[in-house]
Amino acid sequence: MFRDTGMLNRIGALAAGIACALALVPVSALGQAQVPPDTGQLPSAPEPQTSPASPRKLAAELAKTGPVAVDSESMKGAGQEPTDPVMHEPPAAPLVAIASHPEDSLWWISGQANIIIQGDLPFHSPYQGTNSFVSRGEYKTSLVGTLYGAVRRNRSIRWNTDFILDLESTGGRGLSQALGLAGFTNLDVVRNPNLGPVPYLARYGIHQVLGLTQKTITQEAGPLALAPSVPLRRIEIRVGKITLPDFFDVNGPGSDSHLQFLNWTVDNNGAWDYAADTRGYTVGGMVEYDDVSWSIRYGLFAMPTVANGIDMDWAFSRAHGGNAEFELRRTLVKNRKGIARLLYFDNRAHMGTYREAVQDFLNGTDQAKYGLTTPDITKHEHFGALKYGIGLNAEQEVTENLRVFGRFGWNEGQHESFAYTEVDQTFEFGADYAGTRWKRPVDKVGLVMVSNAIKRDHQNYLKLGGLGFLLGDGNLNYGRENIVEGYYNYHAWRGMFYALDIQHIDNPGYNRDRGPVWVGSVRAHVDF
């Protein structure tokens, strides 16, 4: 592991400067923040039209169609040149970044910092094991800072090429070292605290657009796609290092842990064991086809060598994660946006099976061979083992300010949870509401409920004292892990946001003998 470096010092200084700026925001600025003219239409999330956006926010917006398409063929008949279609300007929106970004630029530089302080109250716990959520009560702080960079090859709309490079640093720790909960309470936490805050390459790669028509629609430029508009029908190709939730399982009200909910199984489908290293990134490629009202995408990505590992297995013939998603943009409420997404994934990796681990422990085989006193799934791993599952994701605008959303996820549950979290089945339903009625249209309040479960063999493994990469109380009185989370996100000034969040977890780690747990959070976020 690298020790202190010049870059680390600069990022530390930057984080300190941001923290100071947050502390020094004048009270008058907070009181007068973001009162825009009443346009009669609220953006679907607190995002700028001409300022930096986080990748999750950008991906949510890119998944929607709403702007007017322009047909360059019809322009010919009017005697106009169709080389670069003229786009309608989007309506003005509140600036939600420290500085705006130039329109139709060939380059992009932006950043964000997210600081979360979390604490939990002591709770009932007659016992706890190696991987338990600690019952005594504690508080922890996490910090994530990201520098986004991208360059366009030229200003072509139909054949646009982006080159992407992001740097990131993560610091701090999660409650109980991010152990003991399937739906952990802070998505920013890296599950291996020994990695430290040394900066790393988070994303890099090439994004290529292949236009199939002269008709175009506007999109919000950002670090994942710089062009201000794209062909209505197109193919998009991405190759490089990415995090899959930037493009799959995106949900407008329930995907952005920096401005919305914080829980792992709220912002992502908990049963989707998506290919990723410990920090949430992988390397591979994906292709996407976009049409007027639907899209389809598929990607193939590297899997880690061990569960929750930082090192990837580069032999794609024996280890890889395949992901496919169909997206349909159809509404259930007239004149409101609605989207549904159907996800499928299959992972091949060096994984074990819970049933084999339990059987060989109970019949004494593992004790004779390894001297084990509890089952150990890592002793039963096989190359090429297959884990697969599905997910359903939907969001619907109900009124100008109210959006509802939900997810369902399922995986086969026989093979070990390997890359994301220990969930075999999940249900989720929630909503968010914008503060237009109290003259704060960028503020949001949100409420969600999620219920997670694991299959019988997984339950038996934990009951006998087995350890997953997240769970292991030494015993188990099984019950579904049920989570309720609510937040209020306050837009202070430009790119500065503050939030209060509270989470209630019943049956933490699927254990009826422990809990319930109350977790409170304070979040400060800056987009610049």
Q: What is each CA distance from 269 to 35, 184, 224, 407, in whole angstroms?
A: 35, 13, 22, 7
pLDDT given for residue 92 in this prediction? 58
329 and 65 Cβ atoms separated by less than 8 Å = yes
Encoding tokens for residue 197?
Answer: 């805050």
The predicted-structure confidence for 388-439, as pLDDT tens digits, reads as follows 999 999 999 999 999 999 999 999 999 999 999 999 999 999 999 999 999 9
pLDDT-derived band at 496, boundaries 50, 70, 90: very high
489 and 444 Cβ atoms separated by less than 8 Å = yes
Helix/strand/coil percentages in the chain, nearest 5: 15, 40, 45
| β-sheet bridge partners, residue 304 | 312
The predicted-structure confidence for 429-474, as pLDDT tens digits, reads as follows 999 999 999 999 999 999 999 999 999 999 999 999 999 999 999 9
Residues 6+ apart with CB under 8 A from 20: none
pLDDT given for residue 245 in this prediction? 97
pLDDT-derived band at 3, boundaries 50, 70, 90: very low
Q: What is the β-pairing status of strands 282-290 and 294-301?
A: antiparallel
Residue 234 CB: number of other CB atoms within 10 A? 21
Encoding tokens for residue 241?
Answer: 């290092």
pLDDT-derived band at 322, boundaries 50, 70, 90: very high
List, in sequence order, the alpha helices (H) in 199-345.
264-267
Whether the per-residue pLDDT at 58 is higher than 70: the answer is no
The predicted-structure confidence for 324-345, as pLDDT tens digits, reads as follows 999 999 999 999 999 999 999 9
d(CA 262, CA 162): 30
d(CA 205, CA 299): 14
**What is the average per-residue pLDDT within 238-252?**
97
**What is the average per-residue pLDDT within 102-116?**
92
| β-sheet bridge partners, residue 239 | 206, 285
**What is the average per-residue pLDDT within 71-90?**
44
- The label of the residue with tokens 């063999």 reads 457
How buried is 190 (Cβ within 10 angstroms: 0-12 exposed, 13-18 middle, 19+ buried)? buried
Encoding tokens for residue 290?
Answer: 């976009």
Whether the per-residue pLDDT at 83 is higher than 60: the answer is no
Residues 6+ apart with CB under 8 A from 204: 164, 165, 166, 240, 241
**Which percentage of the chain shows pLDDT scores above 90?**
77
H/E element, 197? none
H/E element, 11? helix 6-23
Encoding tokens for residue 102?
Answer: 């130039």
d(CA 95, CA 434): 16
Residue 416 CB: number of other CB atoms within 10 A? 26
pLDDT-derived band at 32, boundaries 50, 70, 90: very low
The predicted-structure confidence for 112-136, as pLDDT tens digits, reads as follows 999 999 999 999 999 999 999 999 9
For residues 434-456, one letter each, b for 16 or more C-beta atoms within 10 angstroms of the residue's C-beta and e for the rest, the string is bbbeeeebbbbebebbbbbbbbe
- Of 526, 491, 522, the residue nearest 145 (C-alpha): 526
Counted residue by residue, the chain has a size of 528
**What is the average per-residue pLDDT within 12-19?**
43
Q: DSSP character for 365?
A: H
Looking at per-residue pLDDT, the higher value among 98 and 186 belongs to 186
pLDDT given for residue 52 in this prediction? 45
List, in sequence order, the alpha helices (H) in 400-469.
456-463
pLDDT-derived band at 29, boundaries 50, 70, 90: very low
Looking at per-residue pLDDT, the higher value among 211 and 28 belongs to 211
Q: DSSP character for 464?
A: T
Whether the per-residue pLDDT at 23 is higher than 90: the answer is no
How buried is 41 (Cβ within 10 angstroms: 0-12 exposed, 13-18 middle, 19+ buried)? exposed
- Mean pLDDT estimate for the chain: 86
d(CA 330, CA 337): 7
Listed in order, strand segments (DSSP E) in 353-495 are 381-397, 402-411, 425-435, 440-453, 481-493
Q: Which domains does the chain have, with CATH numbers?
A: 6-120+131-527 (2.40.160.10)
* Chain mean position to CA 514: 28
The predicted-structure confidence for 259-295, as pLDDT tens digits, reads as follows 999 999 999 999 999 999 999 999 999 999 999 999 9
**Which percentage of the chain shows pLDDT scores above 70?**
82
How buried is 149 (Cβ within 10 angstroms: 0-12 exposed, 13-18 middle, 19+ buried)? middle
